[in-house]
A and B are shown apart, each in its own frame.
Chain A
Amino acid sequence: MKFNDKNLNKVKEIMARYPEGKHKSALIPVLHIAQEENGGWLSTEAMDEVAAVLNILPIEVYEVATFYTMFNLKPVGKYVFEVCRTGPCMLNGSDGIIDYIKEKLSIREGETTPDGLFTLKPAECLGACGYAPMMQLGNHYREHLTKEKVDAIIDECRRNAANNN
């Protein structure tokens, strides 16, 4: 993977936010960009590209990418359902939502549907406790989930995928 020009400019803009010589600070924001460009996960090649652009050692990138939950080190589906299951969401029925998604998509936690569309990734507290149960989908939250809402979200994703192809 190589950054496209648009993303490379974004990376350079981020690197300029820190004092001189402290551009390693850009690592986490840049990993987000790399993951997005690489189809939702970080391959070794993608991490090596990040190391090259930031002029740091590959190991400095690997040790960070493996630490943070948001970085996927294996391929994921086009739509990743990150359903919160920590205490406050549990009090409002997140277990039932996770079970429903598993049944509806015939996948287990951490798995991707054979068509490559959906991954179920149970998450720990995402800061939406008052609007539980909830999931993160891409850069946004879907809150006050019910089985009907889950159905609608799955339909919406399928429609979007069909329109993009």
Chain B
Amino acid sequence: MKLLLEHAHVEGIRYYDTYRKHGGYRSVEKAFKMTPEEIVEEVKKSGLRGRGGAGFPTGMKWSFLAKPEGVPRHLVCNADESEPGTFKDRYLMEFIPHLLIEGLIVSSFALGSNMTYIYIRGEYAWIVDILEQAIAEAKNNGWLGKNILNSGFDCEIYVQRGGGAYICGEETALIESLEGKRGNPRIKPPFPAIQGVWMRPTVVNNVETLAAVVPIINNGGEAYASIGVGKSTGTKLLSVCGNVKKPGIYEIDMTQSVEEFIFSDEYCGGIPNGKRLKACIPGGSSVPILPANLLLKTAKGETRTMSYESLSDGGFASGSMMGSGGFIVFDEDQCVVRHTMTLARFYNHESCGQCSPCREGTGWMYKILKNIEYGKGKMSDIDLLWDIQRKIEGNTICPLGDAAAWPVAAAIRHFRDEFEWHITNADEAQNRNYGLAHYADPIHVPAGA
């Protein structure tokens, strides 16, 4: 089932004429025959959940937008894709830029935004050019500018390039950055829906979320909601990386089992080089890592599927999260200690420094993990790490603190013996990895293993 990537492989789909020929901009024509309230209602009915990571219902977020008389409102597209393991928005913008522009026009109309911004991470420099070209094409064909399709609605879309900061994916940090400031998250409330960019009511949505508005309007909210399972409606883009035969972008309806997703040729194609599956981070680096046995089956022994609900089955004790859909796969040769160390370094580098638990704690965790990784760890370090991550979680203005704490907590929770082995076999650990141990995937056992 493909809604977003249906025409992704059509040659020339990046350009307006081809995109239009394949049904592009139909949703704008349809939307301008509806009222903004009707569009919000369709999005509510669709059950669409924010695709950036938090999974908050989009229609509900839209309905929170304040509409005080005479105060302009803004829609801001969050294209600051920076969560390790996540590269789906890049794919959408690079190859089907008009899908995002189309979704932005419909959403801008629904929300009453006459000046809409795409805040894109600074490193995606060449995609800025692609988007600006698509915007120019859309404008030349009458989809942007003044009085679009004689609707009386004016809209301009501008691309804003960031400066390289993970924290700007957090919506209030993004707003600060869009205002030309450091990316320090704001204390909430007030929420952006009341006071966002330039203190005006603002909605911030992820690229994939806004692209999904196009099929929702084309086919109706109910049709969208009929795809998927339970509260995981519609389709989700997964960006797959690490040790799989076919890394890349997959659009799924979230009904597949995790096993099918990793091992079938339709998706990841299994683990390369005859290796076995050791672990996986299913939703971007912030969500808990799971060993293969807990990944494929829940703690209750049920088949785990690729839905929001199933991936989080068992809570943090034995489950994980859909998150951003950044699916990171580890084969038997990978070292969980080293990987966790790189993530701790990442969060330490990306902490904005406002809150001391995150500013100091992420640095301490990185130092301790580095000691363990390089053979200078002490057994008490493991409990110290646990203690630090607990004191970061929930004690910061924004969720970066949680995002830094969770990967460390999950690595200790599920791979404690690998940490202990690193400490007790410090010399050996410099030359070889711990290996599979009991983490092996119990389903795919090679002959002779």
Bitwise, A123-138 to B at CB < 8 A (1) or not (0) is 0111111111000100
The answer to whether the Cβ of A17 comes within 8 Å of any Cβ in the partner chain is: yes
List B182-215 residues whose CB lies under 8 Å from chain A: 182-183, 198
Q: Which 9 A-B pairs have the closest CB atoms?
A: A68-B163, A27-B180, A70-B164, A129-B241, A69-B164, A130-B247, A139-B125, A24-B180, A125-B84
- Cα–Cα distance between A85 and B338 once the two chains are bound (Å): 11
Given contacts A88-B241, A136-B123, contact A127 B87 (CB under 8 A): yes
List B229-257 residues whose CB lies under 8 Å from chain A: 239-243, 247-249
Given contacts A24-B179, A86-B342, A124-B350, contact A68 B241 (CB under 8 A): no
The answer to whether the Cβ of B121 comes within 8 Å of any Cβ in the partner chain is: yes
- On whether the beta carbons of B346 and A68 are closer than 8 Å, the reply is no
Question: Count the B residues whose beta carbon is within 8 Å of the partner chain — how many?
Answer: 55
The answer to whether the Cβ of A110 comes within 8 Å of any Cβ in the partner chain is: no
Given contacts A32-B122, A68-B164, contact A91 B243 (CB under 8 A): yes
Residues of chain A within 8 A (CB-CB) of B163 are: 28, 31-32, 64, 67-71
Residues of chain A within 8 A (CB-CB) of B352 are: 67
The answer to whether the Cβ of B61 comes within 8 Å of any Cβ in the partner chain is: no
From A90, which residue of chain B is reached at the shortest CB distance?
A: B342
The answer to whether the Cβ of B177 comes within 8 Å of any Cβ in the partner chain is: yes
Residues of chain B within 8 A (CB-CB) of A28 are: 122, 160-163, 177, 180
Residues of chain B within 8 A (CB-CB) of A22 are: 179, 198
Which B residues have a C-beta under 8 Å from some C-beta of A? 72, 81-87, 90, 115, 121-126, 158, 160-166, 177-183, 198, 239-243, 247-249, 281, 285, 326, 328, 330, 334, 338-339, 342-343, 345-346, 349-350, 352
Interchain CB contact (< 8 A) of B339 among A17, A91, A128: A91
Residues of chain A within 8 A (CB-CB) of B350 are: 124
Question: Count the A residues whose beta carbon is within 8 Å of the partner chain — how many?
Answer: 40
- On whether the beta carbons of A67 and B165 are closer than 8 Å, the reply is yes
- Cα–Cα distance between A136 and B179 once the two chains are bound (Å): 26
- Cα–Cα distance between A129 and B284 once the two chains are bound (Å): 11
From A94, which residue of chain B is reached at the shortest CB distance?
A: B342
From A56, which residue of chain B is reached at the shortest CB distance?
A: B180
Given contacts A19-B115, A25-B179, contact A88 B84 (CB under 8 A): yes
- On whether the beta carbons of A19 and B72 are closer than 8 Å, the reply is yes
Interchain Cβ contacts under 8 Å between A and B, 19 examples: A28-B177, A56-B180, A64-B180, A64-B181, A67-B182, A69-B163, A69-B164, A69-B349, A87-B84, A88-B285, A90-B339, A127-B90, A129-B242, A129-B247, A129-B328, A130-B240, A130-B247, A132-B241, A139-B126
- On whether the beta carbons of B122 and A70 are closer than 8 Å, the reply is yes
Interface contacts beyond A17-B158, A129-B239: sample of 15 additional A-B pairs, CB < 8 Å, sorted by A: A25-B180, A28-B122, A29-B160, A29-B161, A64-B180, A67-B163, A87-B85, A126-B123, A128-B87, A129-B85, A129-B247, A129-B326, A130-B249, A139-B125, A140-B126
- Cα–Cα distance between A85 and B115 once the two chains are bound (Å): 37
Residues of chain A within 8 A (CB-CB) of B164 are: 68-71
Residues of chain A within 8 A (CB-CB) of B281 are: 87
CB of A120, distance to nearest CB on chain B (Å): 16
Interchain CB contact (< 8 A) of A86 among B126, B160, B248, B346: B346
Residues of chain A within 8 A (CB-CB) of B158 are: 17
- On whether the beta carbons of A124 and B345 are closer than 8 Å, the reply is yes
Given contacts A28-B161, A28-B163, contact A88 B85 (CB under 8 A): yes
- Cα–Cα distance between A88 and B328 once the two chains are bound (Å): 7
From B122, which residue of chain A is reached at the shortest CB distance?
A: A70
CB of B330, distance to nearest CB on chain A (Å): 7
From A68, which residue of chain B is reached at the shortest CB distance?
A: B163
